[in-house]
Structure 1
Amino acid sequence: MQFRSKKSLDSTAIPDDLTIAQFILDTPARPDPNRPVRGPDAQTWLIQDGTGRCIGVDELMRRTYGLANAMNLKYGISDEDVVLLFSKNHVDFPVVIWAAHRLGAVVSPANPSFTASELRYQLERTNATLMFVYPDVDTVAVALEAAKQMNIPAERIVLLDAKTLGSAVTHVDFARVEDLVQAGLKAHRSFTEYRIARGGAKDKAALLCFSSGTTGRPKAVAISHYAFIANLMQFVVHNEVNESYYNGSKVIVPWDSEKRRFRVGDVCLGVLPSYHIYGLLMNLHFNLYAGLSVVVVPTFKYMDMLASIERYRVTHLMLVPPQTVLLCKHPATAAYRTALDRIRFLLMGAAPVSREITDQLVKVLPNAQIGQGYGMTETCTGVCMFPVSQKTGTSGSAGQLMPGCIARVAKPDGTLASANEPGELFVSTPGMAIGYYGDEEATRETFLDGWVRTGDEVVINENTEVWVIDRLKEIMKVNGFQVAPAELEGCILDHPFVADCCVVGVPDAYSGEIPLAFVVLAESACSNHNADVAQDIMQHVAKNKVAYKHLKGGVEFVDSIPKNPSGKLLRRVLREKARSLKAAKM
């Protein structure tokens, strides 16, 4: 059977001829008719954590225009060019995206913790010709090395602001966003804003966000302007942002009802990384559209997060499970009781959250609506989320299907499951991505005649609530980030002492999963010093991969890696072995 959301989505309300920048910055109608959009009474959109600097839409529009003009004048950026954004959260992060979209360019956000080889891979896959980079020494040094490997001139690296850099990178006279904005504002207008023909937004790529898909190395997910806006509107309808309600029942008034989940003047902590689709769409764009101010936090540090919640009187949190575990277990939490009592909403996504943690969160945040959501980059974020009728989401559930989403659950024999029967989740949604950029084979494997094959085993009940049981695909979820075992295996096999290997995820209370490597030693390795060899392998991965890909689950030596007759790794066998090993150590 097929499962459909209990709420309908008016497809005519989703513009198919606007870019993301035009929809967010230029669309006059906002959810709250009493919300001033322009002028001195317009609310703050962004708050810079640390300085408290407040930025409204008028300033954001001015900076977006100035940067777009300068990007076109100085670098010739125009339709179909790809701009890579290698940065932590920053108040100019959205400005770079919107400026590129004004020109018709595509933006590819990159993890600022990447090594040079990982960043080079993204540059290769996207054919990016201009990089915007967060201005700290390590990030800039990685960008320089990756650019050098790709023959991209250092002059095409732009820093997001003018922080002082170390001697290792001061030999380059970097352009700065602020200088470009001012130059663009002073210069004559050099570009005609990119316009999309009616219906064209469904095929016009806006973002190239990286995901591991169901298997293999990370792939560039091509997300259209329409898909991004559609998923944003799915969240709007699901959360009744543009409606008045009281405990889920519609009323005629008031717009300022205390029971509304999102209200103008609310403040959300923008601690999720904006290079990740969850942070980019939900934590940033959705909150701005819904009328909230967003505190832009460059780097997550728990103690700093608590201080920011108190300083800015934060009311809304969007987090990943490891951050919620800290809320429950960190001893410093108790000192911020008054500030945490102001929290009215907590959404958890990117990985399942246990009933035990949810129960603890209810005690830590007694006044908050608390629940989970589920989605993936290939669906441009949300597929399901806990409804407004629930103060606390159903235990273990990822929420109800979003408006406009259709789901079906396929059993191993290919037949469709009924309600409460497990199987693999397939989703059809207006937020579906175009496909994997430059990878037709991978696109055919995941995007099937209007459906996204998620690779997740789920159960859906009659109320369209979704429970994620297990991942049928091989991808691990570490701290909410996708990690492809094959990518780590390739790195480990590059070590001289490794003959064969297989990486699996093992459950972890803090990170959700952590990578563990089963390794077959080469004959050249000294088996009498396995502990030293294991440490060396772990250090090898640490030198070449971003932190969340490190082998925090350790290294286990085996005589052989189990495989089927065709040579495919029997990863499930080793996953069970890993769980047994963990249980034996407890």
Structure 2
Amino acid sequence: MPFKPPQWAPALPEILDNVSIPDITLDEFYGRQALKRSRPPFICALSGQTSSAAEVKETIDHLVKNIAAELGWQPNVGGSLSKVVCVFGFNTVDYLPLIWAVHCIGGVVTLTNARFSAADLASQLKDSGARSIFTCLPLLNKAVEAAAVVGILNECIFALDVLGQSSLPKKALDKSHVLKSTTVLAQRGANLPTLELLEWSKGEAKRQVVFLCYSSGTSGLPKWVIISRHNVITSVMQVYVFEHPAGEKHRKRPVMITHCAAWRGDSVVVQPKFDLKQCLKAIQNHQINTLFLVPPIIIMMLKNPNTLRQFDLSSVKAVFTGAAPLAQETVVQLTTLYPTWPMR
């Protein structure tokens, strides 16, 4: 059944049809928070590594040029489903900039579960038609094994930089191939010529696929969930309408990587993978204001009240939850423990 907004809801601004997602999230011309007033888009929870919004934008520009050169892709040549990149790795500060770079070439990103076996990964690579894999060193053996099954060359496998992982797993790649990281790709891309801009036709935003996500597979094999450019931009605009700050302190968000935060000029604090103590430490150290938590994490927190008391969590002003059922009694328990944490 169709869902329509209530009469009291403010109208959405025009959903632009001729811009890319990175244009919306990083270009001031389209209404995002001024770059100079923005917080660093991504902060590594473990190392504190970060870059300014302007530096992230520059990194993406460099990544675009070198990824296109490495894979032989051009922005306006070939359909989007002929330029599919698989990301199989832990969270890093380069995760979303990489995705945006692929979108700037007119490509599609398929995201995978870092817990996949090589067989699971090979199945998604085949189903999505991925031509390249970005992984991280702890998962490289699985990525190489899966790539061999579907015919992806070692030259099309790249690495996301993950803190504390500086050496290749044994037997991962043949000695003749040097694995390039996102950092190396961006550095080399700085010296390459600028690519032509993407050309858009009327209505293309609703047709162009930017993400191939997959269902969990609890009721059978995982199935495609196709997300278009229009879907993402509309979601950003919806958040903008309801949350556009008026002198409000920008929020910092742990783990959840989102286009909306970049639009607002917020920071996202990124953990490679969830760890309760590291998450609580990040809240304390980075004075995180807003938490986006799935119900299992909330339940884990409630089961470890002594651990929570070890950290100063007074900066938290709101908790958003979703993606799974949350019992009312769980909400009551959390708000009793932290009365200043409104649940949404």
d(CA) in 2 for partners of 1:358 and 1:108?
Answer: 34
Matched, 1:85 2:87: yes
Structure with more of its chain in strand, by fraction: 1
Q: Secondary structure at the residue paired with 2:313?
A: helix
C-alpha deviations, 1:67-88, integer Å up to 9, x for none? 1101111211234211111121
Letter in 1 for 2:200: I
Are 2:250 and 2:264, in contact at CA under 8 Å, matched by a contact in 1?
Answer: no
Query: For residue 363 of structure 1, what is the aligned residue in structure 2?
Result: 336
Structure 1: distance between partners of 2:14 and 2:160? 35
Matches within 5 A, 1:154-553: 154-161=154-161, 163-169=166-172, 171=174, 172-189=177-194, 191-211=195-215, 215-237=219-241, 240-242=242-244, 255-256=246-247, 263-269=248-254, 271=255, 279=256, 283-330=257-304, 331-336=306-311, 339-371=312-344
Shift of 1:11: 4.9
How high is the sequence identity, in percent, across the aligned residues?
27
Q: Deviations over 1:26-85 (max 9, x none)?
A: 242446xxx5324xx542211111111221111111111111101111211234211111
Residue of structure 1 in register with 2:146 after alignment: 146
The 3-state SS of whatever aligns with 2:308 is helix
Structure 1 residue 176: Cα displacement: 1.4
Residue 43 (structure 2) aligned to one of 36, 44, 47: 47
Q: Distance in 2 between matches of 1:9 and 1:152?
A: 47
Kindly state the Cα deviation for residue 341 of structure 1 after the two structures are TM-superposed. Answer: 2.2
- CA RMSD of the aligned region, Å? 2.2
Task: Give me the whole-angstrom Cα distance separating, in 2, the residues matched to 1:36 and 1:365.
Answer: 34
- Distance (whole Å) between structure 2 residues aligned to residue 16 and residue 61 of structure 1: 21
Write the distance in 2 (CA, Å) between the matches of 1:106 and 1:166.
Answer: 28
Tell me if structure 1 keeps the 8 A contact 2:70–2:156: no
Residues 67 and 180 of structure 1 are in contact (CA less than 8 Å); yes or no, is this contact kept in structure 2? Answer: yes
1:120-135 superposed matches below 5 A: 120-135=122-137
Q: Does 1:16 align with 2:20?
A: no
Distance in 1, matches of 2:237 and 2:72, equals: 33
Amino acid at match of 2:310: A
Give the Cα separation in 2 of the matches to 1:225 and 1:321.
29
Alignment CA distance shift 1:12-1:128 (3 Å): same
C-alpha change, 1:11 and 1:199, in structure 2 (3 Å) is farther
Q: Do the aligned partners of 2:34 and 2:265 also contact (CA within 8 Å) in 1?
A: no
Residues 140 and 9 from structure 1, CA distance in 2 versus in 1: closer, same or farther, beyond 3 angstroms?
farther
How has the CA–CA distance of structure 1 residues 211 and 27 changed in structure 2, closer, same or farther, with 3 Å as cutoff?
farther
Cα offset, 1:150, TM superposition:
0.9
Looking at structure 2, the residues matched to 231 and 9 of structure 1 have their Cα atoms a distance apart, in angstroms, of 14
Alpha-carbon deviations, 1:131-174, whole Å to 9, x = none? 111222xx111101000111111111000127222323264521
Tell me which of the two structures has the higher relative contact order, counting C-alpha pairs closer than 8 angstroms and 6 or more residues apart.
Answer: 2
Query: Which 5+ residue runs of structure 2 have no aligned equivalent?
Result: none
- Aligned residue in 2 for 1:409: none
With over 3 angstroms needed to count, the CA separation of the structure-2 counterparts of 1:328 and 1:164, relative to structure 1, is same
Distance in 2, matches of 1:369 and 1:199, equals 40
In structure 1, C-alpha distance between the alignment counterparts of 2:238 and 2:217, rounded to whole Å: 23
Q: What is the Cα deviation at residue 267 of structure 1?
A: 1.5
- Measured after TM superposition, the shift of residue 214 of structure 1 is 9.3
Asked if the contact 1:17–1:197 (Cα under 8 Å) also holds between the matched residues in 2, the reply is yes
Per-residue deviation, 1:182: 1.0
How many angstroms apart in 2 are the aligned matches of 1:200 and 1:301? 41
Per the normalisation by structure 1, the TM-score is 0.54
Does the C-alpha gap of structure 1 residues 340 and 152 become closer, same or farther in structure 2, counting only changes over 3 Å? same
CA separation of 1:157 and 1:226: change in aligned 2, threshold 3 A: same
Please give the alpha-carbon distance, in whole angstroms, between the structure 2 residues aligned to 1:147 and 1:13: 41
- Please say if residues 264 and 291 of structure 1, whose CA atoms lie closer than 8 Å, have aligned partners that are also in contact: no
CA distance in 2, matches of 1:9, 1:230: 14
Q: Would you say the 8 A contact 1:327–1:364 is kept in 2?
A: no
Structure 1 runs not aligned, ≥5 long? 244-254, 257-262, 272-278, 372-586
- Judging changes above 3 Å, is the alpha-carbon distance between structure 1 residues 109 and 9 closer, same or farther for their aligned structure 2 residues? farther
Bigger shift: 312-321 or 52-61? 52-61
Q: Which one has the bigger helix percentage?
A: 2
Structure 1 stretch displaced more, 42-51 or 350-359? 42-51
- TM-score if structure 2 supplies the norm length? 0.89
Give the ranges of 4+ consecutive aligned residues of structure 1 lying more than 6 Å apart after TM superposition.
Answer: none
Q: Against the structure 1 CA distance between its residues 233 and 365, is the aligned structure 2 distance closer, same or farther, given a 3 Å change threshold?
A: farther
What displacement does 1:220 show? 1.8
Q: Distance in 2 between matches of 1:206 and 1:346?
A: 29
In the alignment, the residues of structure 2 paired with residue 305 and residue 312 of structure 1 have an alpha-carbon distance, to the nearest angstrom, of 10
What secondary structure sits across from 1:54 in the alignment? coil
